[in-house]
Amino acid sequence: MKVPFHRVDTSGNELRYLQEVLESGWLTTAGRCFDFEKSFAKATGARFGIAVNSCTAALHLACEALGVTRGSEVLVPTLTFTSTAEIVEYLGGRVRLVDVDPTTGLLTPALVESALESHPSISCVMPVHFAGRPCHMRGPAGDPGIVDICAARGVAVVEDAAHAFPARHADGSMVGSAIGSAATCFSFYANKTITTGEGGMVTTDDEELAERMRRMRLHGIDRPAWDRHRRGGTSWEYDVVAAGFKYNLSDLAAAVGLAQLERVEESREARARLADRYRDRLAPLDSTFRLPLGTDVESHHAWHLFVAHLRKSSGIDRSRFIEAMTEREIGTSVHYKPLHRMSHWSRSCLDDGGHEPRDLREEFPAAEAWYEGCVPLPLYPSMKDSEFDAVCAAVEESVHACRQPVRRP
């Protein structure tokens, strides 16, 4: 690939901090992890950060702590990665998929309200801040957000913020702060805005919730090894107070995370500048592409993804377009094939008792349109001018190539 879809940036203190951990002789969860939790909580304005080994683990812990259990119904947008939904089934709950807003790909208060009307047994809602653009979570008065609607009905909210670090809500507070919801989950997977290789974080302001998640991330043990180690004395003594999980983050991973955090704001600004440049440069292709909206204030968007959309009226087939881009050695990707198109989730959608067989594509028209047209373009701070130009030239050429009639043998 001339321009890969993503390139990891470890140009800061990553190596130095890793070496310090290696030399310290304590590789698993301890001081570096707690430093990372504190710094991350500070960066999002949350009281507590609980570091875990993936965002999937964070989502699982948050839903468990908020009481999702056997028989619970949980609302999940169909335009997301399978993690958001699968953890509901870990807990014995049932996933209700819902369509998204056609322009932003986000869950909206209106969509949540109508889903809660039709399915009053839903006890938890999981908004996904897709591409790094935050969902509308809270007021002002007269314009209730997802949390306002859920709070009025006693429904819990867990945010999937795997794409949204760092991002801000419309009132200026960070995604991850308590303005959003009780628990917000972040991903440090290799292609996310910051990475620890594999890793995740859940933020909350609720002390009891934090304590439950902290305990459950390490086997339900009341006094973890690092604590016993620190206090000395009867260091072997501990109790298991619940059947927990093995979700803790190592100090090795946290060391990388701390180095990544140091550059997080400059890296967000670099992505936002690239997003602006794409919008300027591709504006002449307006009849072919719909480009992603910014937010009122640009600093509100994390710009994890820049998803251009082929307009239906362009007559260009998305798969053919991606082939043309690949021929020109430009990395693209599809975010996402909606969950209702996956065999497991489609079965679970259809298995709701007594309905005639039906076409799920008609049930999720916005996510379908999103999927059919989406062309995410490379967007990362280390992108050079020459690479940016190569992507834009390839887009122009590919549009041209796809307009040619297909030659048949």
Ligand X SMILES: *Cc1c(COP(=O)(O)O)cnc(C)c1O
Site of interaction with ligand X (CB under 6 A): 54-56, 80-81, 83-84, 128, 160, 162-163, 187, 189, 200
Phi/psi of residue 175, nearest 5 degrees: -65, 125
Cβ nearer to ligand X, comparing 187 with 332: 187
Q: CB 401 → ligand X: shortest distance, Å?
A: 30
Residue with tokens 């049930």: 363
Nearer to ligand X, 196 or 314 (CB): 196
Coil vs helix vs strand at 66:
coil
DSSP result, 374-399 = EEEEP--TT--HHHHHHHHHHHHHHH
User: Of 112 and 131, which CB lies nearer to ligand X in the complex structure?
Assistant: 131
Q: What is the spatial distance between Cα 73 and Cα 83, in angstroms, rounded to a whole number?
A: 16
Q: How far apart are CA 203 and CA 205, in angstroms?
A: 7
CA 261 to chain centre: 17
What's the CA gap between 44 and 204, in Å, rounded? 10
Q: How far is the CB of 29 from ligand X (least distance, A)?
A: 17
Least separation in angstroms between CB 286 and ligand X: 28
73 phi and psi, to 5 degrees? -110, 135
Strands 94-98 vs 73-77: parallel, antiparallel or unpaired: parallel
CB neighbour class for 184 (10 Å; exposed up to 12, middle 13-18, buried from 19): buried
Residue-wise DSSP of 312-365: GGGT--HHHHHHHHHHTTB----S---GGGSHHHHHHHH-SSSPPP--HHHH-H
CB-nearer residue toward ligand X: 57 or 325: 57
Cβ proximity to ligand X: between 115 and 305 the closer is 305
Neighbour-count burial of 8, counting CB atoms closer than 10 A to its CB (0-12 exposed, 13-18 middle, 19+ buried): middle
What is the Cα Rg of the chain in Å? Answer: 22
Residues tagged active-site: 192
Q: How far is the CB of 161 from ligand X (least distance, A)?
A: 9
At closest approach, how far in Å is the CB of 173 from ligand X?
21
Is the CB of 81 or the CB of 345 nearer to ligand X? 81
Query: For residues 58 and 64, what is the distance between their CA atoms, to the nearest angstrom?
Result: 10
Nearer to ligand X, 189 or 303 (CB): 189
We find the least distance from the C-beta atom of residue 83 to ligand X, in angstroms, to be 4
For ligand X, give the closer residue by CB, 145 or 200: 200
Q: Tokens for 238, please give them.
A: 């501990």
State the Cα–Cα distance between residues 340 and 99, nearest whole angstrom.
10
Q: What whole-number distance in Å separates Cα of residue 347 and Cα of residue 94? A: 12
CB of 103 to ligand X, least distance (A): 18
- What's the closest the beta carbon of residue 200 comes to ligand X, in angstroms? 5
Q: What is the DSSP string of 41-81?
A: HHHHT-SEEEEES-HHHHHHHHHHHTT--TT-EEEEESSS-
CA distance 399 to 323: 11
- The number of angstroms, rounded, from the C-alpha of 138 to the middle of its chain's C-alpha atoms is 19
